[in-house]
């Protein structure tokens, strides 16, 4: 059996069991936000930002999820080491928060494996000040083993109303190779994508259970009438959508 497959299965099973309560709490928060026509935002720096792209403008995904893209922490930046400098820069997360149209009742999903860098911490802090509910996806074992790089001395989980632990290894690399000290192949993207898509599914299930006829889910643009169906839903939820078409 391939070691990576085996390791991912083990972590998925652990997350499903041990994070069930946190996931269901997050689902309730998300469904209430949609019912109240509030916006959902999502952010991650560098590779953590892959989950932002996973959730954004996706067939089968929620329309009211708005990406926060910090241009200096995207993976197309050169030199790539600039992303590490910027996610550690005190004040950058506050600047991103200041240009994001947060309002009370909105939700912010944040992904940071170590949870120690200022950019994500500051976004969470500023959002909470405005009455935004924060959902943090992180690695609690990892985060508790490292010191915060933010002046508050606290990591992301301290500013998260709901914390979902990805149960990965410290350093994120998962597989051991004989003769090597460094583990290889991170687990956080696969596990994180599973977590956020679970949130989408469970949120839509709850919306339907609560009587919502047409939850704001994107239809594939490649389906007949897909564009028309999307346009109707976009119109209904336009106050919760802060990105351009």
Segment 61-76, tens digit of pLDDT:
999 999 999 999 999 9
Confirm if 65 and 56 have CB atoms less than 8 A apart.
Answer: yes
pLDDT digits (tens, 9 = 90+) for 186-212: 999 999 999 999 999 999 999 999 999
pTM tops 0.95: yes
Q: Which residues contact 147 (CB under 8 A, 6 or more apart)?
A: 116, 153
Phi/psi at 228 (nearest 5 deg)?
Answer: -65, -40
Tell me the pLDDT band of 99, cut-offs 50, 70 and 90. very high
Confirm if 73 and 49 have CB atoms less than 8 A apart.
Answer: yes
Percent of the chain with pLDDT over 70: 100
Q: How many residues does the chain have?
A: 245
Q: What domains can you pick out in the chain, each with its CATH number?
A: 3-240 (3.40.50.10490)
Confirm if 117 and 87 have CB atoms less than 8 A apart.
Answer: yes
Q: Which residues contact 165 (CB under 8 A, 6 or more apart)?
A: 15, 18, 19, 22, 138, 139, 140, 141
pLDDT value of position 101? 98
The token pair that represents 243 in the structure block: 């990105």
């Amino acid at each position: 059996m391939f070691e990576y497959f085996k390791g991912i299965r083990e972590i998925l099973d652990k997350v499903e069991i041990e994070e069930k309560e946190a996931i269901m709490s997050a689902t309730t928060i998300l469904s209430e936000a949609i019912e109240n026509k509030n916006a959902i935002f999502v952010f991650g720096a560098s590779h953590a930002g892959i989950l932002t792209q996973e959730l954004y403008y996706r067939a089968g995904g929620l329309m009211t999820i708005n990406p926060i893209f910090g241009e200096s922490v995207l993976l197309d930046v050169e030199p790539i080491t600039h992303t590490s400098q910027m996610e550690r820069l005190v004040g950058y997360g506050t600047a991103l928060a200041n240009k994001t149209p947060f309002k009370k009742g909105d939700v912010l999903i944040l992904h940071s494996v170590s949870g120690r860098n200022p950019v994500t911490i500051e976004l969470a802090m500023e959002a909470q000040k405005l009455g935004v509910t924060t959902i943090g996806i992180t690695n609690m074992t990892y985060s508790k083993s490292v010191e915060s790089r933010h002046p508050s001395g606290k990591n992301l989980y301290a500013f998260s109303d709901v914390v979902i632990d990805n149960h990965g290894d410290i350093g994120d690399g998962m597989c051991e190779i004989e003769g090597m000290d460094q583990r290889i192949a991170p687990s956080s993207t696969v596990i994180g994508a599973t977590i956020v898509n679970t949130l989408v599914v469970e949120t839509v299930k709850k919306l339907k259970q609560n009587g919502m006829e047409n939850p704001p889910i994107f239809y594939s643009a490649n389906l007949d009438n897909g564009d028309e169906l999307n346009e109707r839903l976009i119109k209904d939820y336009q106050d919760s959508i802060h990105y351009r078409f």
